[in-house]
Structure formats: structure tokens, C-alpha cells
Amino acid sequence: MANNTMLLFAKKIQLESKWNEMYLSNNGKITTDMLQLGDEIKTVIRSILKAQEDDVHNYANSNDYEIHQFAG
């Protein structure tokens, strides 16, 4: 799962970089292409958050969803 999350972070950074390049090349104006790219960035962010949430549920105490080092 960690590898998948790292790939999502890499994709997010790549998309944000492309969005920034487009913003600078358009003299600070947002285009429809940039709006679509922004939606894709949001989707990737949601995927990252979901993956992190799933990790917590997999490794956490099922009663309170906290990670206890010395729980018995």
C-alpha cells in the first residue's frame, strides 16, 4: 500500500507542476484545461486520503481506531 501511496504523491506533484506551468504561461489566467487538471488533482488527493485512511483501519485498534504500541 505504501508504494501505491508514493505513486499517487508523485502523480499529484506532476499534475501540480503542470498546472503551475500553465498558470505562468497564461500570465496568471485560469483556463478550462487548468480547471480540468485541477479536478484531476483533487481526485488524486482524495485517493491519497482514502489510502491513508485504509492504512489506519488496517493497523489500528478496531474499537477506537487508535494505534497502541503496547495494547494487549
53 vs 7, higher pLDDT? 7
DSSP the chain: -HHHHHHHHHHHHHHHHHHHHHHHHTTT---HHHHHHHHHHHHHHHHHHHHHHHHHHHHS-TTT----TT--
Query: What residue numbers bound the domain in which 33 lies?
Result: 12-53
Note whether residue 28 is domain-resident.
yes
What pLDDT score does 7 carry? Answer: 94
Give the count of domains, the chain. 1
pTM: 0.74
Note whether residue 23 is domain-resident.
yes
Give tens-digit pLDDT for 25-51: 999 999 999 999 999 999 999 999 998
Note whether residue 39 is domain-resident.
yes
Note whether residue 31 is domain-resident.
yes
Note whether residue 72 is domain-resident.
no
Note whether residue 44 is domain-resident.
yes
What pLDDT score does 22 carry? Answer: 98
Q: Alpha-carbon distance 31 to 52, whole Å?
A: 32
